[in-house]
């Protein structure tokens, strides 16, 4: 990768972490609400442990998906690039 794009790649990685939180938090909530093992206590909806396990299953599935994608990536073993600052 060109040296002038390193900052862009780093910024994209940081943005991906934030987007992941914005996507997965509502997704876990939707999956939790879809669970049928709920009951009310004093008017408050309560979810069973099985519901939380079902909703949070998205985390290990995401890790497995990332591992699967990782197997298809190639490492190019680039040489270290040294460049002088333009200051």
Q: What is the model's pLDDT at position 3?
A: 77
Parse the chain into domains and list their residue ranges: 3-70
Question: What's the pLDDT score for residue 37?
Answer: 87
Using one digit for the tens of pLDDT, what is the confidence trace for 6-54?
Answer: 889 889 989 999 999 999 999 999 999 999 888 899 999 899 999 999 9
Q: Where are the beta strands (DSSP E) in 1-87?
A: 38-41, 44-47
* CA dist., res. 87 & res. 28, Å (int): 48
Give 75's DSSP letter.
P
Provide, for the chain, the percentages of residues in helix, strand and coil under a 3-state DSSP scheme, each rounded to the nearest 5. 60, 10, 30
State the Cα–Cα distance between residues 60 and 54, nearest whole angstrom: 11
46-86 confidence digits (pLDDT tens):
999 999 999 999 999 999 999 999 999 887 776 776 667 66
């Amino acid at each position: 990768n060109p040296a002038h794009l390193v900052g862009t790649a780093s910024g994209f990685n940081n943005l991906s972490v934030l987007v992941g939180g914005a996507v997965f938090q509502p997704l876990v909530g939707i999956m939790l609400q879809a669970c049928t093992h709920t009951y009310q206590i004093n008017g408050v909806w309560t979810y069973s442990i099985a519901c939380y396990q079902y909703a949070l299953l998205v985390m290990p599935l995401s890790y497995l998906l990332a591992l699967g994608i990782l197997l298809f990536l190639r490492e190019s073993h680039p040489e270290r690039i040294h460049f002088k600052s333009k200051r």
